[in-house]
Structures are given as C-alpha cells and as structure tokens.
Structure 1
C-alpha cells in the first residue's frame, strides 16, 4: 500500500465514511477509490482535490505524496504561510483583504 493510499484510507475512516458514501459525495467509484487506497492506481489531481475537501484535510500534502508537487515547488510560499493554520477565518479574511489592497494599489501605480 502506498503512503498516499494509507493517508486517504485513514482520512476516510476518520471521517466515518464507507467507500460507497465517498462515491455518493464525490463521484469517485468505490472500486477506483479502493484501488487508489491500495496503491494499485494513481489518483488524479482532481480526485485528490475532491477527497481533500470531503475529508477536510489539506491538499498540498496530498499533492506532495502523489508526486504532483515537490518541496522545491512550494519553498517560496512556505515563508508566507508560516503559522497560518493558527489563524481563524476572520483573521485570514483580514489578511486576504490586505493582500488584495496591496495588489490593487500596484495595478494603479
């Protein structure tokens, strides 16, 4: 079993979902998901996105496990996002509005 498959199966089990329930919510067939969890077939980026959303887990680590991203691909962004997981929704929205303001200001100047 692959590390990605293990992570997905563990997340599905923690969510209390059967293979059939995942199919009903994502459209990913139970046989396909079972093969993904056992490491027999690759998981597409789109499927990973749907599963991450359903399981309420972060997508970037899944993309790394699947080989779609490497640590080098995201190095420049890591500094910006340090500590972001400790922010609540209101704080993240405030920061996003500041980023939007700065980007808008640059386009005008």
Structure 2
C-alpha cells in the first residue's frame, strides 16, 4: 500500500490499526519516531506496536525499523532507571547533551 511512499506521518493508534489489518508491515518501515518518548506506557498504541509487531519480528531475525525516541525532559539521576527501561522497550540507546 505504501510502495511509492517515502514519509508517512501518523498517530500511533492509526499505525497500530494499519499493522493489525495488514495495510502495512513493520518490516516495510525504515524508521519509527516516538515523540515524547518519556510518556511511553504499557498498553498504549505505541507500546502495542513494539510488543505485538516490532519485537516478534526482531526475535525472528526479520528486518525491523530503526527507532528514534525523542523527549524534552532532561535526564536527572532519579530518572536513570526510567531511561534504562525506555532503552530496553524501545530497543534504543539514550543519548543526551551534557548541560
């Protein structure tokens, strides 16, 4: 369905439904951007994309998109554990400028 499409902007709910109904496959995506990644919560559409589509494909050694999580919330020592959790569930590495 997205054969000649370079960029698609969508809510996670719409993307999740498109994945569920087979309109798009997780392997056909190159990048998923999680804006406000610090708000990632269990059973939200964004988390369901990761648990229902991304991780099964990755564990099967199929192509998966790159993940970019963005947040404006600064990392402070009390949030170190939370950032580690985000790294794990989003299969990403936390990077922050030194201020």
* TM-score of Structure 1 vs Structure 2, range by shorter chain: under 0.3
TM-score normalised by L of structure 2: 0.26
- Structure number, greater radius of gyration: 1
Q: Which has the higher strand share?
A: 2
Comparing both chains, which one has the higher relative contact order based on Cα–Cα distances under 8 Å and sequence gaps of 6 or more?
2
Please report the TM-score for the alignment, with normalisation by the length of structure 1. Answer: 0.25
